């Protein structure tokens, strides 16, 4: 009788070897795909880093700002007509030279519809001759408006309005 053990063992080892070779081939192929994906991700990451650097450099040089609404420029010799959304006042704003600052500010506020930014008021007052274009006169305008609560009321940061009882 011949010994079957070595034959059985060799067939078992042969089967396992073939199985291991198939697994090795499959794992090698998967590893190759993973390496390709890693290389692709690294390329995309590199491109993204370049894009981020360009964006940061661009954003440092260009400051994004909202475009302000363009208002027509007013020359000192030009009559200003009221906007259609006005409150039915006379419709023009005459020269304000020699008019007290508080009264000139009140006229400008009426012209602007009853409320406005102090910077817009300052611009109109300078254009119409009611205020000198320096910091002191602007401070004086604000002081006049603060000290006359019967005529002016502050309604927000830099925004003023006429009071109900304002003349």
Give me the CATH number covering residue 93.
1.10.10
**Residue 68 covered by a domain:** no
Residues 27 and 95 in one domain: no
Residue 166 has pLDDT above 80, yes or no: no
pLDDT recorded at residue 61: 62
Give the range of the structural domain holding residue 130, as residue numbers without chain letter.
80-162
pLDDT recorded at residue 140: 74
What is the model's pTM? 0.38
Residues 14 and 87 in one domain: no
Averaged pLDDT for residues 83-88: 44
Residues 46 and 87 in one domain: no
Residues 103 and 151 in one domain: yes
Residues 93 and 153 in one domain: yes
**Residue 134 covered by a domain:** yes
Averaged pLDDT for residues 116-131: 75
Residues 44 and 96 in one domain: no
Averaged pLDDT for residues 93-122: 74
Averaged pLDDT for residues 45-60: 83
Averaged pLDDT for residues 155-165: 73
Residue 86 has pLDDT above 50, yes or no: no
Residue 67 has pLDDT above 60, yes or no: no
pLDDT recorded at residue 68: 54
**Residue 71 covered by a domain:** no
Residue 62 has pLDDT above 90, yes or no: no
Residues 84 and 147 in one domain: yes
Instruction: Identify which of 120, 124, 125, 75 has the alpha carbon closest to the alpha carbon of residue 100.
Output: 125
Number of independent structural domains in the chain: 2
Which of the four pLDDT bands, split at 50, 70 and 90, describes residue 85? very low
Print burial letters for 1-12: b (CB count within 10 Å at least 16), e (below 16).
Answer: eeeeeeeeeeee
**Residue 121 covered by a domain:** yes
Which of the four pLDDT bands, split at 50, 70 and 90, describes residue 98? low
pLDDT recorded at residue 89: 43
Q: What angle do CA 126, 135, 149 make, to 5 degrees?
A: 80
Residue 20 has pLDDT above 70, yes or no: yes
**Residue 97 covered by a domain:** yes
Residues 48 and 101 in one domain: no
Print burial letters for 42-71: b (CB count within 10 Å at least 16), e (below 16).
Answer: eeeeeeeeeeeeeeeeeeeeeeeeeeeeee
- Which tokens belong to 73? 């420029």
């Amino acid at each position: 009788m011949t010994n079957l053990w070595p034959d059985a063992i060799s067939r078992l080892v042969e089967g396992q070897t073939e199985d291991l070779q198939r697994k090795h081939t499959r794992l090698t192929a998967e590893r190759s795909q993973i390496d390709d994906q890693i290389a692709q991700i690294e390329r995309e990451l590199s491109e993204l880093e370049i894009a981020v650097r360009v964006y940061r450099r661009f954003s440092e040089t260009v400051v994004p700002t909202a475009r302000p609404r363009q208002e027509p420029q007013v020359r000192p010799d030009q009559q200003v007509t009221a906007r259609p959304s006005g409150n039915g006042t006379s419709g023009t704003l005459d020269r304000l030279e020699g008019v007290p600052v508080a009264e000139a500010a009140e006229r400008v506020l009426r012209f602007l519809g009853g409320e406005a930014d102090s910077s817009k008021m300052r611009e109109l007052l300078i254009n119409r001759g009611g205020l000198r274009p320096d910091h002191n006169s602007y401070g004086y305008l604000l002081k006049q408006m603060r000290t006359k609560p019967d005529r002016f009321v502050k309604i927000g940061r830099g925004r003023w309005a006429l009071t109900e009882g304002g003349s």
